[in-house]
Amino acid sequence: MSGPTEHHSPPTDVRIAVISGSVRTERMGPTIAGWVVATLDDTTVDLIDVADVTLPDDSLLWPGGGPRSEVADRIAAADGFVFVTPEYNHSYPAALKRLIDWHYAEWRLKPATVVAYGVQGGHAAIEHLRGVLAELGVVATRRAMGLRAPWQFLDDQDRYAPDPEVCQGLAASLAELRWWAELLAEARRDRPLPV
């Protein structure tokens, strides 16, 4: 008599949106976002740079809605998110907050992780962002990345090239995000949240 057989479903193809949250001219956001995208090499990725997004006027925004933005469908199509953000004044940038606030249902019941950076590592930005994401029904992963002074770790082609331990930390964070993305995609499909 044979023992119980473990059944594992095949991995689901998930789409991850990497959101680069700074609009300053001199910014590390695209460099860090490029590092994240390269680490997600076996995943469908949509890179959304807030600097390239034009949102409607805030006077048209009302709680839970407003006119559809030019990136609403891209956010809705994602199964999970990586927010790449600097820390500005002990929080995250206003441009990223506007992008978040202009969407509501598009974020719900999906996971997100944060890769923040700054002189001290961006940890205040991570904590402030987690509270906002929770209010929108986003599952913020336990693992997040705080990168201290990443501009000191650029290679000769201006790519972010941190120590191997930092790369391993990102890989672990993204593996957790993918696990949640697969789980919640199935839950959204098969077990709608009670209203």
pLDDT of residue 143: 95
CB 140 within 8 A of CB 82: no
SS3 110: coil
Residue 40, both tokens? 């997600």
pLDDT of residue 2: 47
CB 111 within 8 A of CB 138: yes
Backbone phi, psi, residue 55, to 5°: -100, 155
- Ramachandran region, residue 137 (left: φ > 0; alpha: ψ -120 to 50; beta: rest): left
Interatomic CA distance for residues 166 and 119, integer angstroms: 16
Interatomic CA distance for residues 123 and 128, integer angstroms: 9
**Full pLDDT tens readout for the chain, 195 residues:** 444 545 444 456 899 999 999 999 999 999 999 999 999 988 999 999 999 999 999 999 987 778 999 999 999 999 999 999 999 999 999 999 999 999 999 999 999 999 999 999 999 999 999 999 999 999 999 999 999 999 999 999 999 999 999 999 999 999 999 999 999 999 999 998 887
pLDDT of residue 6: 52
pLDDT of residue 7: 46
Task: Please give the distance of CA 60 from its chain centroid, rounded to a whole number.
Answer: 26
pLDDT of residue 10: 45
Radius of gyration of the chain from its Cα atoms, rounded to whole angstroms: 17
